[in-house]
Chain A
Amino acid sequence: MARRKLKKSSPSGVQQTGRRITLNPKLARRSFLKISAATAALSGAAMTTKLTSRANAATAQKAQFAGSKKVRTICTYCAVGCGIEAEVQNGVWVRQEIAQDHPVSRGAHCCKGAGAIDMVTSPKRLKNPMKRVNGKWTNISWDQAMDEISAKLLEIREKDGPDALHFNGSAKVSTEMAYLHRKFAAFWGSNNVDHQARI
């Protein structure tokens, strides 16, 4: 079932990999990049340029999203810094294309990078601010969340001093945001600030 759908919806390159696809049939309706996720994972290695080259030539898919535009961006998983060509239609990320001519990744993706689009579409994302009340998660507004957090922080600062806060920042944000993490600690008045590079 899955295999037949694959052949129908995605010409050329993906057929090469059809034999070993074992995922949900819904996969077939998604972009060929899902296939590369499976391929790379099953083989445990990067896709070869030859394969991605064929996959990229799947021109029949091009017309599918009328009026879409391409946005060049960078994968958020590891520090190799692979290129991604994101296809956006009416503000929705509809398809993820490999960046064939990115000078480092050269059109390759691992199974994680091939599914980058799911960072946005995953139903498991946090949808709104929450707090735990009597052991139960409760939705709250941004205003309430930020009000309560900042009031509590100012109270702790007043009573215990600025070093009573520890700030664990991130290697997953932009350099600009990372800089703001460190600058925040400085303006808050403490050196209790660190991130994943320590470990």
Chain B
Amino acid sequence: MTNSLNDIRHAKSMIFIGSNPPEAHPIAMQHILHAKEKNNAPIVVVDPRFTKLAAKGTDYVRVRPGTDAAYMMGLVNAVITNGWEDKDFLSKRVAGFEEMKEVAAHYTPEVVEDITGVPAADVTRVAKLLAMNRPTSLTWCMGGTQHHIGSSIVRAFCILQLVLGNMGKTGGGTNIFRGHDNVQGATDMCILSHSLPAYYGLSDGAWQHWCRVWDVDYDYIKSRFKEKEWMNKKGFTLSRWYEGVIQEDKIHQYTPLKAVFQWGCGPNSNSQYHKVKKAYDMLDLIVVVDPFPTMTAVLGEKDNIYLLPSSSQYETSGSVTSTSRQIQWRHKVVDPVHDSRTDYDIMADLVKRLGFADEFYKNIKQVPEDITRELGRGSLTIGYNGQSPERIKKHMENWHMFDIDDLQAKGGPCDGEYYGMPWPCWSEDHPGTPILYDISKPVMEGGLPFRNRFGSVATYVMSGREEVQLAAKGVCNPGSEEPGGYEEFKDVVPGTNWKTDLSQKTIKEALSKGMAPFGNARARCVVWTFPDQIPIHREPLHSPRPDLIEKYPTYPDKENHYRVDTRYESEQDPELVKEFPYVITTGRMVEHMGAGAETRSNKYLAELQPDMYAEIHPRTANNIGVRNGEMVWIESPEGGKIKVMAKVTERVDDKTIFLPFHYGGMFMGESLSDKYPEGTEPYVVGEPGNIITNYGYDIITQIQTTKDGLCKISRA
């Protein structure tokens, strides 16, 4: 998120799209409700389902699943046509506005009503509500991203905030609430098949940079790969790794997958989960490293699996990065229980037996602190270099000294610093950056402009117009030597830039001039490397509106998308809705987390939410002849089916069915309880909702489309 949970206290209005914090981020609610009560800030909730947040909100907008981009571009258009846009902000800090405006013009309130189901008058009303109550804090979660056009949808969110001038301001921002406790830290370290840590990518330059950090020869790392070319190619993803085994779509790699690690990763979060079972039964080796057996332990049939008990995170220590980019130290509470081992110890043992411990641990003696230092030394792109283990622990010891409203320490040993030194924290004496892109503060006090990442000038294909990408004259942080836009810093140390200069002289040079190491540019509305350079609506891959497919078709099929062919056009069948008439969407509940291995093994939480269920509208229930609490079969076009309890409720509309996704331990009507190692079966088992989620992946990120598939339902 660009701001922080606490900063939402300053919002004058809030809009949540595909985000339900009372269930998913409960403790964030105190800050959200503070803004509502104290500032009289309206809470607009955009969701296909009337969620708990909607119950606390002031304005509920029910959109058809998968039409978020159309709704957002409709808001953008309504803001512009009514003259509510922030003209000063747009002229000085934003690029590609004119081109974007042309595209947004298509999304009139009437067009938006047809696509999304939101009444036209409501589109204009919400646009006005936000425009008249600035700054607006905008939040999305996976309801916004898990679509085949997810990458366009999130850009539409950002564009709305740019048009309203809400970026870089307290109370504003794009505030994506991240899911798991350290998903921000793990993302920053890029356990991702398309990048090395800190978003350096997979280019030769990126490998050379990290080899310098690791203090190993580039040629050594190269020798570890099959051929050099595989260093630069994106790997399989968590969404589709099993295709590397079952190969229902063609794969682009010299070998199928033979072995898989599931290290702290609940498997039933995968869409089309019944296909993962096929993969398990074809693999030579499955290694589960987890405090609990997880559903991986029970789904396969073969003798190809090991369970390694890792200790919980309370039995080890290390830093974690919250959704607000704050880095906190998670101190060890007790030693590992039973015969479990810490993740660090398991990794050390594995690496030693695989024969590369000397190179791997070259600069790591003290665990985990030396790892914090090493990753910080290399992660210059996002400013992880200023948060030493000592500083992080100091913040923990003194957390009571930080102000709840601006998160700054008032006096004491951390005086002037922001809690958790939100990244980027450019040096050992930088306070952290509480709000990204905020030009009201000097850089050394936590301010920043927009990053210069895509050149200084661009020519747009749709208009032929050339535009300077740097910020306008006079737009800069106080104290900046350059009174306006500037490029990123490079060649301070010849042959390097601010990202690759490990001496950090380049960063220090920028800071001494009151400037940002990454330059001072404009935020882009046009992304020339994406298939949709400006966000547009495309009908969900499995659409309940065949009449709209022709007008808003999906993409052409994509070859070799993270090593596997991915179907778009050939998958979008206007006839599908005849057999599968309901839209399926998924979400969280407060009592459980992720794939549920932990929470379903907690007897209190298990007692509070013991049953898997499907939310079904009364009309649907009556039409299929099922009453509240009775069982139904739900089936997906891919052949997945689950037997679950019907929860008859008007939270969903009569075209939509909602499933929580935390359950596991059952499979297509059968309990697998007796397949767990004795005594470890969870207190609660249930059908994984993800057996029903459909085929479909984002065109850029390959995120799975669990929020807008189709299904059919019948009485069990």
Chain A residues at the B interface, C-beta cutoff of 8 Å: 23-24, 27, 34, 37-38, 40-42, 44-46, 49, 71-83, 86, 88, 91-93, 99, 101-106, 108-113, 115-116, 118-120, 122-135, 137, 142, 145-150, 152-154, 156, 160-199
A128 to B182, CA, bound (A): 26
B314 at the interface (CB under 8 A from A): yes
Complex A-B: 16 CB contacts under 8 Å: A40-B590, A45-B56, A77-B181, A91-B335, A145-B306, A156-B284, A163-B255, A170-B191, A171-B181, A171-B182, A172-B313, A189-B230, A190-B235, A192-B236, A196-B269, A199-B270
Max chain B CB contacts within 10 Å: which of A44, A103, A131?
Answer: A103
**Contact present for B349 and A142 (CB under 8 Å):** yes
* Given A110-B27, A119-B291, A164-B257: A194 and B593 interface contact (C-beta under 8 Å): no
- In angstroms, Cα B308 to Cα A162, docked, is 22
Contact of B26 among A27, A110, A119, A171 (CB under 8 A): A110
Stretch of B159-167, B545-553, B679-687 on the interface side: B679-687
Q: At the interface, yes or no: B262 with Cβ under 8 Å from chain A?
A: yes
Nearest Cβ distance between residue B398 and chain A, in whole angstroms?
10
Q: How far is the CB of A10 from chain B (nearest CB, A)?
A: 16
B520 within 8 A of A: no
Interface of A is mostly: mixed
B224 touches A182 (CB 8 A): no
Partner of B189, one of A93, A179, A188, A192: A179
Name the CB-closest residue of B to A177: B343
B309 and A125 contacting across the interface, CB-CB below 8 Å: yes
* Cβ-defined contact, B339 with A129, below 8 A: yes
- Residue contact A125 to B340, C-beta cutoff 8 Å: yes
Whether A111 lies near B314 (C-beta < 8 A) is: no
Interface size class of B (residues with CB under 8 A): 35 or more
> Which single member of B258, B261, B331, B396 contacts A168 (CB below 8 Å)?
B261
Using Cβ atoms and an 8 Å threshold, which residues of chain A touch B593?
77-78, 112
Give the chain A neighbours of B319 by CB distance below 8 A.
174-176
Residue among A41, A74, A82, A108 with most chain B CB within 10 A? A74
Expressed in whole angstroms, the Cα–Cα distance for A172 and B596 within the complex equals 13
Given contacts A110-B26, A126-B291, A131-B305, contact A120 B330 (CB under 8 A): no
Give the CA-CA distance A71 to B331 in the complex, in Å: 7
Known interface pairs A118-B604, A178-B191, A180-B344; A126-B146 also in contact (CB < 8 Å): no
Neighbour of B318 across the interface among A104, A175, A191, CB < 8 A: A175
In the complex, whether B579 has a CB less than 8 A from a CB of chain A is no
Given A149-B287, A191-B231, A81 and B608 contact (CB-CB distance below 8 Å): no
Q: A23-B604, A119-B314, A196-B238 are in contact. Are A168 and B354 (CB under 8 A)?
A: no
- CB proximity of B280 to chain A, nearest CB, Å: 11
Decide if A189 touches B226 in the complex (CB within 8 Å): yes
With a cutoff of 8 Å between Cβ atoms, the chain B residues found around residue A169 in the complex are: 186, 191, 261, 263-265
**B366 nearest CB across to chain A (Å):** 11
Q: Report the number of A-B residue pairs with Cβ-Cβ less than 8 Å.
A: 480
- Choose one: B237, B321, B360; the contact of A194 (CB below 8 Å): B237
Say yes or no for B178: interface residue by CB 8 A criterion.
Answer: yes
CA distance A27 to B43 in the complex (A): 37
A80 touches B192 (CB 8 A): no
Query: Which one of A110, A120, A173, A191 contacts B343 once the chains associate, using CB atoms below 8 Å?
Result: A173
Q: Are B591 and A111 in contact (CB under 8 A)?
A: yes
Which residues from chain B contact A188 at a C-beta distance below 8 Å?
224, 354
8 Å CB contact of B372 from A93, A176, A194: A176
What residues of chain A lie closer than 8 Å to B291, measured between beta carbons? 119, 125-126
CB distance B590 to A176 under 8 Å? no
Which chain A residue has the least Cβ–Cβ distance from B270?
A199
Q: Which chain B residues (334-367) contact chain A, with CB distance < 8 Å?
A: 334-335, 337-341, 343-344, 347, 349-351, 353-356, 359-360, 367
Distance in angstroms between the alpha carbons of A38 and B606 in the assembled complex: 12
- Name the CB-closest residue of B to A190: B235
Flag if B238 contacts A183 (CB, 8 Å): no
B588 to chain A, nearest CB (A): 9
Given contacts A101-B400, A174-B319, A196-B180, contact A179 B371 (CB under 8 A): yes
Task: Pick the residue among B192, B214, B683 that contacts A195 (CB under 8 A).
Answer: B192
Asked whether A41 lies within 8 Å of B591 as measured between CB atoms, the reply is yes
Q: Write out, one digit per residue, whether chain B residues 664-694 have a CB within 8 A of any chain A CB (1) or not (0).
A: 0000000000000111111100000000000
Residues of B within 8 A of A199 (CB): 146, 238-239, 269-271, 703-704, 706
Q: How far is the CB of B282 from chain A (nearest CB, A)?
A: 12
Write out the residue numbers on chain B whose beta carbons fall within 8 Å of the beta carbon of A183. 197, 214, 360
Alpha-carbon gap, A74 to B400, bound state (A)? 15
Partner pick for A182 among B30, B189, B284, B680, CB 8 A cutoff: B189
Once A134-B303, A172-B264, A195-B192 are accepted as A-B contacts, the answer to whether A153 and B309 lie under 8 Å apart by CB is no
